[in-house]
């Protein structure tokens, strides 16, 4: 089956949907049984998409979990109330006091804070590594290294990692690899074919696609699934049937949405690349983006999220650029149908193992589904405001 067809079919077996097209919302905390034998059978099968207790999920959850495995390629998928919970849940499932974690230097900022604050407090040590390190990661491995965490491309700055090279080294040392795969969504990269053990999605972004639901997933291979599932269950992580229903629904249009996000974003990135104020475009599909060769090898396309760096610009100029936008709203997150903009004046403050090569401010755009000509007109006026401060 081709990708777009798989998106239509994934997780829609009659077992979950009955005679409806979409998996219906099945809300439950308590599941009741008629006989001791039925309860015993459900207890034995409770990790295998069998109704047991609400926290283990209902048919709504099982349908989406099955879909995520079909799309990403793992054997099981744990659900979380948001992407950040999927990250903490996956890390806490495999790390204990005295362990060592290798974390990519360009990780999503709350992931870095989790390591520096919560994990450090539990006696788990983190070493940050250069996203471009590749097989050189071997030199950073210690006897107590248990997990290597990747995020590719990196939040804000878009470095693309050599995922297979890192995973190969990890396997030689019996180290688990966890990838924050949110940028690719479940369809632009096949993480398990690249050697990853656990793939994380902030489903909040493109899977939901409408900026109105928080949800996280962690999909695992056969080796890691039982431990991920049971530890996350012990931590109490679960997601509401209503939110999971919205995620299943989002999958059906993910392919067409992403194609339009990609096309619009490339048009705008190419326009920005011609502007005299711009020092660099950080977009994985651009030839000068760090790791572009890995992007071409491992990804089947791009999306609406990229950044650009200005040659120079004061805080007041950046403020003038962003305030007064008609279509680009200022706000965190991305992956919805609407365009967004955020500014980062000090990228270096967000990293500790690498040196950010630019001095001007960085602007990150999420290109939505508006007509790109309207978005370009919006940016053109922003450059005028920028110049007149």
Ligand X SMILES: *Cc1c(COP(=O)(O)O)cnc(C)c1O
Which positions are catalytic? 55, 108, 180, 205
Q: How many CB atoms lie within 10 A of CB 40?
A: 11
Nearer CB in complex with ligand X: 182/289: 182
Give the x-and-dash track for 304-343 against ligand X (CB under 6 A).
-----------------------------x----------
- Dihedral angle over CA of 275, 276, 278, 283, nearest 10: 40
23 scored as a contact of ligand X (CB under 6 A): no
Do 126 and 115 contact (CB within 8 A), yes or no? yes
Residues contacting ligand X: total by CB under 6 A = 14
Give the x-and-dash track for 26-65 against ligand X (CB under 6 A).
----------------------------------------
Nearer CB in complex with ligand X: 22/333: 333
Give residues 182-221 in contact with ligand X (rule: CB under 6 A).
Answer: 182, 202, 204-205, 214, 216
Residue 304, preceding bond cis, omega within 30 degrees? no
Among 130, 180, 298, 338, binds ligand X (CB under 6 A): 180
119 scored as a contact of ligand X (CB under 6 A): no
Nearer CB in complex with ligand X: 180/197: 180
Q: Which helix (H) or strand (E) holds 103?
A: strand 100-104
**DSSP code at position 205:** T
Which residues contact residue 188 at a Cβ distance below 8 angstroms, ignoring those fewer than 6 apart?
Answer: 258, 299, 300, 301, 302, 303
What 3-state DSSP class applies to 388?
coil
Nearer CB in complex with ligand X: 199/204: 204
Do 77 and 225 contact (CB within 8 A), yes or no? no
Q: How many CB atoms lie within 10 A of CB 198?
A: 30
Binding positions for ligand X, rule: CB under 6 A = 82-84, 108, 151, 155, 180, 182, 202, 204-205, 214, 216, 333
């Amino acid at each position: 089956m081709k990708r777009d067809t798989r998106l239509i079919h994934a997780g829609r077996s009659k077992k979950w949907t009955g005679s409806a097209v979409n998996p219906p919302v099945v809300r439950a905390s308590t599941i009741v049984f008629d006989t001791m034998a039925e309860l015993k059978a459900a207890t034995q099968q409770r990790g295998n998409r069998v109704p047991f207790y609400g926290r283990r999920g209902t048919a709504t959850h099982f349908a989406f979990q099955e879909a995520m495995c079909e799309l990403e390629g793992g054997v099981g998928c744990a659900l979380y109330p948001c992407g950040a919970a999927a990250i903490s849940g996956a890390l806490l499932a495999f790390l204990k006091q005295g362990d060592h974690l290798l974390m990519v230097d360009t990780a999503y900022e709350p992931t870095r804070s989790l390591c520096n604050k919560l994990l450090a407090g539990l006696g788990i040590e983190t070493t940050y590594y250069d996203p471009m390190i590749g097989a050189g990661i071997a030199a950073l491995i210690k006897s107590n290294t248990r997990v290597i965490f990747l995020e590719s491309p990196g939040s804000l700055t878009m470095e693309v990692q050599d995922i297979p090279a890192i995973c190969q080294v990890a396997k030689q040392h019996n180290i688990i690899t966890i990838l924050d795969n949110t940028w690719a969504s479940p369809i632009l990269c096949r993480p398990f074919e690249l050697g990853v053990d656990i793939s994380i999605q902030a489903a909040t972004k493109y899977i939901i696609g409408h900026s109105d639901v928080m949800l996280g997933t962690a999909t695992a291979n056969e080796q890691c699934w039982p431990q991920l599932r049971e530890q996350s269950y012990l931590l109490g992580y679960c997601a509401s049937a209503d939110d999971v229903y919205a995620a299943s629904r989002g999958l059906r249009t993910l392919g067409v949405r992403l194609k339009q996000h990609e096309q619009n974003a490339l048009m705008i990135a190419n326009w920005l690349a011609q502007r005299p104020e711009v020092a660099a475009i950080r977009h994985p599909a651009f030839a000068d983006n760090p790791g572009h060769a890995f992007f071409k090898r491992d990804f089947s396309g791009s999306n609406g999220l990229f950044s650009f760096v200005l040659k120079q610009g004061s805080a007041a100029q950046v403020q003038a650029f962003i305030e007064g936008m008609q279509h680009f709203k200022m706000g965190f997150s991305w992956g919805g149908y609407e365009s967004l903009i955020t500014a980062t004046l000090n990228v270096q403050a967000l990293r500790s193992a690498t040196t950010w090569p630019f001095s001007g401010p960085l602007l990150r755009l999420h290109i939505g589904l508006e007509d790109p000509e309207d978005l370009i007109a919006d940016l053109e006026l922003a450059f005028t405001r920028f110049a007149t401060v």
